[in-house]
Structure 1
Amino acid sequence: ARHTCANTDLGVDGVCSDMLELAANHLLKMGLIAIGSDALQMSLVLDGSRVHVWRNLGFSYMHNGNFKAAEVAFDNAKKLDKTFKIDESIQALFKRGLEFEKKIETDQVTTKWSEPRRPN
């Protein structure tokens, strides 16, 4: 889709970015979260100044359990709009997700170092 937009005049006035955003919203509603996230990313490549698209991308990352990527998306939204906030209940879930991701990484590193080694 991005290639098609680059080869046509649809990039003018954000039309292509709008089309990608609409496609992403449709895909997300259908439950195709990963593909919808890709469409949101493509929309942001064309127009990275859309706070609501960064927010939606963050939520789609949260839905997939990728809390670090969600944090980046939410940080980009905050950079663009200083008043950007996430609902407190979602913020609490987000923080727990980040903590859980860090714990998993720590556990994986610890497991690698403490695994018993078998002789060849």
Structure 2
Amino acid sequence: MAAVVIANPWNARYAHHQIERRRAGAMGDDSKARRLQDERAELERRVRAGEWLKIGLAAKLLEIGRTTVHRMLDNEKIGYRWTPNRTQRECDPADIVRLLDERRERQVGKSATPPSE
């Protein structure tokens, strides 16, 4: 008798985004991978121009979950303002750019470290 494993998406957090990216690259579905890159490039252009992003868009740009963005707003790692009807928060573009640059520095630093002799 085979055991059946049921994946619980609530525990998986946002791992499905990573799986989609890997699957798109591995299966040669360049159009989906390119579309994701184009969306992020457009979001980055908008935020660098000073546009305040809603939480979902900031999460997509930073490649993290919306819950993580909420936590960062609550912990004041990202500044925010309320929308005019006070129902949603918008992320400060300066903080989003800072986080993007920090992440890129870490990624470059990891790949640029010389091998130990």
Whether TM exceeds 0.5 here: the answer is no
Q: Which has the higher contact order (CA 8 A, sep 6+)?
A: 2
Classify the TM-score, shorter chain. 0.3 to 0.5
TM normalised by structure 1 equals 0.32
Bigger Rg, structure 1 or 2: 1
TM normalised by structure 2 equals 0.32
